Amino acid sequence: YADIQKLYLRETPHGSASPYQVRTLHEVLRICQGKIIVDIDFKEENKKYIANAFDLIAAENMVDEVLFFLYDHQDMKHVYSLHPTITLFPRARNRKDLNAILKSKLTSVVHIDASFQNVEHLKKLKDQGVILWMNSLGDIDKQALRQGNRVYELFLKEYPYIKIIQTDYPALWTKMLGSENK
Sign of the CA dihedral 93, 94, 96, 102?
positive
Taking residue 104's Cβ as centre, other Cβ atoms within 10 Å add up to 15
Query: Tens place of pLDDT for every residue, the chain, 182 residues?
Result: 899 889 999 888 788 999 999 889 999 999 999 988 899 987 767 778 888 999 999 999 999 999 999 999 999 998 899 889 999 999 999 999 999 999 999 999 999 999 998 999 999 999 999 999 999 998 999 999 999 889 999 999 999 999 999 988 888 898 888 876 55
Distances (CA, A) of 40 to 25, 56, 60, 75, 90: 9, 12, 15, 15, 11
Cβ(9)–Cβ(21) under 8 Å? yes
The torsion defined by the Cα of 78, 79, 82 and 85, in degrees rounded to 10, comes to -120
pLDDT value of residue 181 = 59
For the stretch 58-106, pLDDT in tens is 999 999 999 999 999 999 998 899 889 999 999 999 999 999 999 999 9
Q: Is residue 40 within 8 Å of residue 67, measured between CB atoms?
A: yes
Tell me what pLDDT residue 55 has: 93
User: What pTM, to 2 d.p., does this model score?
Assistant: 0.81
* Strand ranges inside the chain, DSSP E: 8-10, 17-21, 38-41, 66-70, 87-90, 109-111, 131-135, 162-166
